[in-house]
């Protein structure tokens, strides 16, 4: 099984997109070399990650990605996003689950939902311009800040989340347009990041 995952991932060009501070650079660093950054720095332009093979803990699985670009998050970077989506074999879009669901700052939540809607509509339009079937992986991060989050019941947590009004709107935008896979978790530390990567790889293998 894990040997097949290596084959499925090896040589893929991956674009990772999303608003700022959603865990993009953390995920990019882990996928490219098995580490996560110790400090937060906002990405400017396209950060073409240094790569080296690494092995996922407790699995005899070595990962080596041919190309992995961490793309800046600002709305002004849409041209860069478009180019990366066109060239990518795999597209991941990250959003901050906690920020989207929070109730203490309604204006922040509504503004963030509007940003996500705009991003997804644009990304889907670019994917439609490509030939062949296309898929999009949407990763909801910062779930550890949600009091209802329980890593031991991820499937139930995901099913409950996608029925929330905020995520129903995201599903409505994407319905019938592109094949979408929803993944939820956290990138707060190495263990959490490794867990969300393993989940994504298992899903990728089934495609």
Domain regions of the chain by residue span: 2-206
- Sheet containing 90-96, strands listed edge to edge, beginning at the edge strand earlier in sequence: 46-48, 67-71, 13-18, 90-96, 135-141, 179-184
pLDDT number for residue 56:
47
What whole-number percentage of the chain has pLDDT above 70?
A: 71
Q: Mean pLDDT for the chain?
A: 76
Query: Which of these, 137, 131, 97, lies nearest to 113 by C-alpha position?
Result: 97
pLDDT tens per residue across span 57-82 = 444 444 545 545 555 556 667 788 88
CA distances from 34 to 56, 120, 166 (A): 8, 28, 33
pTM of the model: 0.79
Residue 77, SS3? helix
- Identify the residue whose tokens are 């720095």: 41
Taking 60 as the threshold, does the pLDDT of residue 183 lie above it? yes
Q: What pLDDT score was predicted for residue 5?
A: 47
CATH superfamily of 2-206: P-loop containing nucleotide triphosphate hydrolases (3.40.50.300)
- The answer, yes or no, to whether residue 138 has pLDDT greater than 90, is yes
């Amino acid at each position: 099984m894990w040997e097949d995952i290596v084959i499925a991932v090896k040589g893929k060009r991956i674009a990772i997109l999303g608003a700022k501070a959603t865990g993009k650079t953390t995920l990019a660093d882990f996928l490219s070399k098995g580490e996560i950054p110790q400090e937060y720095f906002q990405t400017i332009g396209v950060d073409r990650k240094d790569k080296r093979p690494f092995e996922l803990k407790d699995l005899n699985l070595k990962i080596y990605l041919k190309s992995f670009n961490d793309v800046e998050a600002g709305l002004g970077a849409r041209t860069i996003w478009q180019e990366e989506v066109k060239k990518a074999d795999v597209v991941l879009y990250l959003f901050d689950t906690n920020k989207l669901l929070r109730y203490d700052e309604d204006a922040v939540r509504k503004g963030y939902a509007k940003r996500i809607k705009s991003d997804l509509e644009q990304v889907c339009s670019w994917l439609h311009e490509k030939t062949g079937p296309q898929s999009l992986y949407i990763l909801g991060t910062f779930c550890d800040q949600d009091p209802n989050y329980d890593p031991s019941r991820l499937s139930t947590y995901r099913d409950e989340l996608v029925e929330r009004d905020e995520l129903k709107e995201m599903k409505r935008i994407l319905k019938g347009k592109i094949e979408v896979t929803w993944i939820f978790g956290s990138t707060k530390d190495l263990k959490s990041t490794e867990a969300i990567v393993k989940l994504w790889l298992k899903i990728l293998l089934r495609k």
